Amino acid sequence: MSTSSRDADKFVVRLPDGMRDQINEVAAKNHRSMNSEIIKRMERTLLEDATGILNVDLMDQLSNRCKELEARLEQLQDQPTVSLLKRALEQVTRRCEELEARAPGAQLKIAARG
């Protein structure tokens, strides 16, 4: 049997400046009342704490590491060697296309040299 809102336990919470607006905005996006949004989020964090599903510190560390790796990947993609290899691959691809155009139906084999 569900409890009516009149009989439900009530607790007054003082929210920091701006938080009420944030909750209201998120609740609207999720098509919930502010109360339902707060309850849903509290249930989720209590469950996460109880089951260890989410470790906020670990998530922060993983997020930071992802950002570091993305930045490193950007650096690697900008290096001259990568640019040189890309240009060489484009030239080989163009040359293969030219040769294939001259000899339709012929299959080109590129031998890898060790």
CA atoms of 89 and 105, how far apart (whole Å): 22
Of 17 and 62, more confident: 17
Contact criterion met (CB below 8 Å) for 36 and 27:
yes
CA atoms of 32 and 44, how far apart (whole Å): 15
Helix 80-102 vs helix 56-78: angle between axes, to the nearest 10 degrees?
60
What is the pLDDT at residue 35?
94
Three-state DSSP class for residue 24: helix
Average pLDDT, the chain: 80
Q: Are residues 48 and 65 in the same domain?
A: no
Residue type, 88: A
Q: Are residues 96 and 76 in the same domain?
A: yes
Q: Are residues 24 and 59 in the same domain?
A: no
Q: Is the pTM of this model over 0.85?
A: no
Q: Are residues 59 and 49 in the same domain?
A: no
